[in-house]
Structures are given as structure tokens and as C-alpha cells.
A = this chain, B = another copy of it.
């Protein structure tokens, strides 16, 4: 990446926003490649994802320092300040999406050499597609300063949660049917959880976009499909139990 000579506050802000877009593209690619590596048991691809995570971490640190320098030098107020603080938060979420992709990549070796039930692997692939759509949508909403689009991303997170819950139950059933599936399914379980959390980070980014644009926090209590019920239905006894947070 070529260094940019920063001349005005406007330029610095544009530079930061562009960097976020680049980091977002990198995070998306890492998620795609990590899931592809898991599907195909592709060690080389998995290792390249692990290597890319180092770059994304460095990009986040660089963006942080640049944003802080800009705050110190330009002393922005109101929406300008929120834009920069928002960039710091979003780069944090993107870095963590990269970590989650790396975690999935690291499981490739662990899952290899174990039989993987095709429909479950498909399920995880489909879950990752949903998460990637969310990520793409929220990055577009960021680029377009569109907080309504960001709100829609948050609302869609329920779909990911619901599909994760269904995959969780299937994986447990599969483990119970044959103990030889346990090791592979455990790793698929954590991979599914990592993907579900990528969706949560897309939601966080959506909330940050809303905050940047409006100066308000989205109300905290989003209805969550997979969580509240289990603490309410104390008497119920669903086999197997839901996945939880």
C-alpha cells in the first residue's frame, strides 16, 4: 500500500474510511477462504489465512494510531469525531472477524482425516454465506453512510442465529449416533460458532454506523432468537439442548 500524503482533515478522514473498506475486503476474503479450506481440507489455503491475519492485525494497529493522531491534531467535533471513533471501533470488529476466520482455518488440520457428514458441512457453508452477505451489506452501508441499511443488517442477524442453532442440534445428534464422529463434529461445532460470531461483529459494525450517523446508540435489547428461551423455559427438557451464547 502506498503512503498517502495527508493535507487536510477531509483527506485524513477519506483515507481512514478507505482503509476500513480495504480491511473489510480483507476480512471478507479471509472468511471465504477459511470456510473453503475447511470444506476442501485445504492446508495450504488454511495456512495462507493464518498468515493474512497478521497483516490484518497490523492494519488495525496502523489505523488506530492514524485515527488517534488525527483526533489529536485536528480536534474534530460532533459527527467528525464520531466518524473517527467509529472507525476505531469498526477496525476492531474487522480485526476480530479476521481472528475468527483464522480460528476456523486452524481447525482444518484437526478436522482432516475424520469423516465429515456432507449435509453438516453444507450447513456450515450455507451459514458462512449468510454471514458473508451480512458483512458485505454492512461494509456497503458504511461506505454509503446508510444507517437504515445498517439497521436491516442487525435485524437479519436472527437468521444466522436460527441456522446456527439448527446446525448445533444436528451436530450433537450426529455425535450421539456414532462416537467416532465426536472429534470432527466438535471442531465443526466451534467453526459454526465462529461463523455465528462473525455475524455478531457485522451487527456491531451496523450499530457503530448508526451511532456515527445519528449520535445515538441503537437500543441495546435486540430480540435474540437463540438465547432468552432457555432461561425462561426452566421446566422444558428439549433434547439436545440449545447452543447458547
**Chain B residues within an 8 Å CB radius of A76:** 72
Q: In the complex the two chains form, is A113's CB within 8 Å of B237's CB?
A: yes
Residues of the B chain whose Cβ atoms lie less than 8 Å from the Cβ of A195: none
Task: Using known A-B contacts A81-B71, A182-B175, determine if residue A244 contacts B110 with beta carbons closer than 8 Å.
Answer: yes
B contact residues around A47 at 8 Å (CB): 231
37-89 of chain A: CB within 8 A of chain B: 43, 46-47, 50, 54, 57-58, 61, 64, 68, 71-72, 75-78, 81-82, 85, 88-89
Q: Which residues of B contact A75 (CB under 8 A)?
A: 72, 75
Question: Taking the nearest CB of chain B, how far is it from the CB of A166, in angstroms?
Answer: 15
Cα–Cα distance between A64 and B208 once the two chains are bound (Å): 12
Q: Does A213 contact B (CB under 8 A)?
A: no
A104 shortest CB reach to chain B, Å: 8
- Closest Cβ of chain B to A87, distance in Å, is 12
Interface residues of A (CB under 8 A from B): 43, 46-47, 50, 54, 57-58, 61, 64, 68, 71-72, 75-78, 81-82, 85, 88-89, 92, 99, 102-103, 106-107, 109-111, 113, 172, 175-176, 179, 182-183, 186-187, 189-190, 193, 217, 220-221, 227, 230-231, 234, 237, 239-245
